[in-house]
Amino acid sequence: MFYLDPLYLGIMLITVIITGIASLMVKTAFSAGQKVKLVNGISGAEAAQRILDVSGITDVKIVKTRGFLSDHYNPMTKTLALSPAVYEGRSASSAGVAAHEVGHAIQHARGYFPLKFRSALVPMASIGSRFGIFLIIISIIMQGVSKAAEGTEASMYIGVAGLALFASAALFSIVTVPVEFNASSRAKVLLRETGIVQTSGEEAAVRRVLTAAGLTYVAAALTAILQVLYWAIKLGLLGNRRD
């Protein structure tokens, strides 16, 4: 079975390592940034509102949500949800994360193409992440039990369809990377321009937090690519098929 395949186990090990490192970096950077208190003393929610006001965005609502670093922007409801540590915090970390999420709201308001493209991928990516793998496994099983050329050809069509669905989820992860880094770039500029970040220490802390957060999306994209390549090999589309 695939889960006993050394190649599959190797990919899983790489996945665990890179995602674990990325997660640790975010937590470490955020914790360190919380110790850097803003000179102006405003909260993450206040920083988000100031940037929205300066950007001329008046139809986005800021709310507090639950969880650690569960911050996100919902383009459907135009809601900016900030976790308690960010919403109430008065540190460089709070300002950085809040500004990053406002960056997504600005992308939405300005019609930033990569964000629109990622949103368009959501339905297919959702289906692909749920059902793509099942079609791939069915194809592999059919190839293993079928000796007829017709059966092999049919199984390959099923496998390619499954891989295409699965790859759509990977594409979503890949497109997410420039979307996130762009939001962070906007955040760093606006934090300086609005006077929310005033010292080099605050700016450095914000940069570390946002860079670490961005690397989590890079890790997710790399993981998705490795998985697509693995299943392409198993289906015989790259190199020799592994049984």
Q: Which residues contact 100 (CB under 8 A, 6 or more apart)?
A: 71, 180, 183, 184, 187, 210, 213
Q: Find all residues with CB under 8 Å of 228, minimum gap 6, and list them.
A: 163, 166, 167, 170
Q: Is 101 a catalytic residue?
A: yes
Q: For residue 29, give every residue at least 6 positions away whose Cβ sits within 8 Å of its Cβ, in sequence order, or none.
A: 93, 205, 208, 209, 211, 212, 213
Distance CA 42, CA 122 (A): 35
> Which one of 101, 150, 193, 203 is the catalytic residue?
101
Active-site annotation, residues: 101
